[in-house]
Each structure stands twice: as C-alpha cells, then as structure tokens.
Amino acid sequence: MTSRQLNKLATRIGFWVLVAVVLIYAIFPFYYAVITSLKPSSELFSVSYWLDSLDFSNYVAIFSQGSFVRAIFNSILVSISVVAIALLLGITASYALGRVRFRGRTTVMLVILGVSMFPQVAVLSGLFEVIRGLGLYNNPAGLILSYTIFTLPFTVWVLTTFMKQLPQELEEAAIMDGATPWVTITKVFLPLMWPAMATTGLLAFIAAWNEFLFALTFTLSDDQRTVPVAIALISGGSQHELPWGPIMAASVTVTVPLVVLVMIFQKRIVSGLTAGAVKG
C-alpha cells in the first residue's frame, strides 16, 4: 500500500467514525426511550442496549387510563386549532404586511418580532390574569389563545417574507380580472404558498404539541390536560416509584404523529425554508 492509499483509507474511516458518533448522539436517546417502553417494568433497571423480547404491557397500561386518551384528544384539538388560527391570521396579516404599502409597516413588523422575544415565563403571570379574566382557565381554549400568541409572530414573519416574493404583476393580473383582496389571497396566493404554509403550520403544530409550561399552569383537572403535562403527572404505585416504562411508552406514542407529519411534509418544508434563499 502506498502512503497515498493509506491516507485515503484513514480519511474514509475517520469520516464514518464521525458519522457514527453523530448518529448515536442524535438517535440514542430516542432509541433508548423506545426500548425502555417495550420492556416489562421488572427489567427496567437492568441496563441493556438490545431488546430481548417485545412487551407491550406499558402501552396497554397507558391506554387503559382514560385520562391519557383524553389528553391526546385535548392535544390534537389544541394543536390543530392553533395551526388553523395561526395560518388564517398569518396569511391575512402577511397580505397586509407584504403587499399593502402603509405608514408604519416596518414598525408593526418589528413589534411583532419583539413580542416573540419574550420568554414564556415573563408573560406567564400576566397571561394567567388575562385567561382567568376571560373565563378560560382550565379550558383548552385558554391554551389555544396563549399558544397562538407565541406562534403568530413566527408565522406572520415567514409568510410575509414569502408573500413579498410573489410577483407584483400576479396580484395586478388578479385585480384586472376583478378579484377582491380575499379572492386574490385564497385563489391566487394560497395555492402558491403551500410550501410556506406547510412549514410554518408544522412548526406551529410541534410547538403547541410539546408545550409544557402554559399547559401545566392553565389547566387544573385531568380531563383538560394536554399530553406533555399528562406524561409528567403519570405516577407510580407509591411515591418511591417512578413509572419509567409507561412514561416512555406515552412519550413514544405522542412523538410518532410528529415524525409521521414531518415525513409527509418533508419536501415542502425544505422548499419552504429555502424559498427565501434562492430565486426558484
């Protein structure tokens, strides 16, 4: 072997080692959660990295709890509502901010961005008062309201950027054809904005699906909780037992829909995220 071939081999090995490290770093926690969820609780604390047998008792356990199923339903309701409201308001706001020239447009954009800078905990107490004042405490509507507040700035920004790139003449052609702004948005712009909508919608969905702090603060009873809180509150037989098996089973269960969604929208997300970068 010449030194050049050796060099090449070393580079190759180095490359694949690096890939392996990155893969393990990224996937191992999730992998460990999956195998933990598939072990009976008796084997829980014997560390092993392979599955010897499949045991679905943890899944059976969490799904036999009415409150967990109820929490999944709540999460779906809240997340889908947040996405729908955020996209509707986002699209209409981005039309105004992206296509209509008016005084103070930049200021509005900056205020929207500024609002999204606040950490959740900073607005927690204020938001709590608002939600109680509106009578939405311990009600999914309260969560929908508070998540929308944090999702909208992002949605509006991304959609506005996208809307600005649509050619001016396209809108004017629609005006000449007799379209009102609403028809222009729904019939002309919307079909062209699917990639951006899929991206922002999915990110809004994930944010709402995984949110914990508001969900914990603004709900009280089991039948109003969302999944992250429900998982956190899964308790064992005694205060000395942490039921890792069911917790992992629940976590895996609620992650799967996200993975499926990302896979479905994968291509669109990419084209949506890069839409601003290069002119397609």
Partner 1 sequence: MASVTLDKINKVFGHDHIIKDVDLDIGNGEFVVFVGPSGCGKSTLLRLIAGLESITDGELSIGEQVVNELPPRERGVGMVFQSYALYPHMTVYENMAFGLKLAKESNETIEERVMATARILQLEELLHRKPKALSGGQRQRVAMGRAMAREPRILLFDEPLSNLDASLRVQMRNEIARLHHRLGSTMVYVTHDQVEAMTLADKIVVLNAGRVEQVGTPQELYQRPLTKFVAGFIGSPTMNFLPAELVAGTAEGCRVRANGVGELPLPQEPGRHDAGDALTLGVRPEHLGLAPASGDNAFEIVNVEYLGNEVYVYLEPKEGDTLLIHRSEAPSRWQTGERVALVPDPEHVHLFDAENRALVAKRARSVA
Q: Which residues bind partner 1 (CB under 8 A)?
A: 167, 169-170, 172-179, 183, 187-188, 191-192
Q: Closest approach of Cβ 171 to partner 1, in Å?
A: 8
Instruction: Give whichever of 18 and 175 is closer to partner 1, judged by the CB atom.
Output: 175
Q: Amino acid identity, residue 19?
A: V
The alpha carbon of 72 is separated from its chain's Cα centroid by a whole number of angstroms, namely 15
Within 10 Å of residue 14's Cβ, how many Cβ atoms? 10
The alpha carbon of 46 is separated from its chain's Cα centroid by a whole number of angstroms, namely 34
Instruction: Give whichever of 7 and 186 is closer to partner 1, judged by the CB atom.
Output: 186
Instruction: Give whichever of 32 and 182 is closer to partner 1, judged by the CB atom.
Output: 182
Q: Closest approach of Cβ 203 to partner 1, in Å?
A: 24
Helices (H) and strands (E) in the chain, counts: 13, 0
Q: Closest approach of Cβ 139 to partner 1, in Å?
A: 40
List strand residue ranges (DSSP E) for 33-186, in order. none
Q: Which residues contact 1 (CB under 8 A, 6 or more apart)?
A: 9
**DSSP structure string for 83-102:** HHHHHHHHHHHHHHHHH---
Q: Closest approach of Cβ 184 to partner 1, in Å?
A: 10
Instruction: Give whichever of 193 and 231 is closer to partner 1, judged by the CB atom.
Output: 193
Q: Closest approach of Cβ 92 to partner 1, in Å?
A: 20
Instruction: Give whichever of 38 and 193 is closer to partner 1, judged by the CB atom.
Output: 193
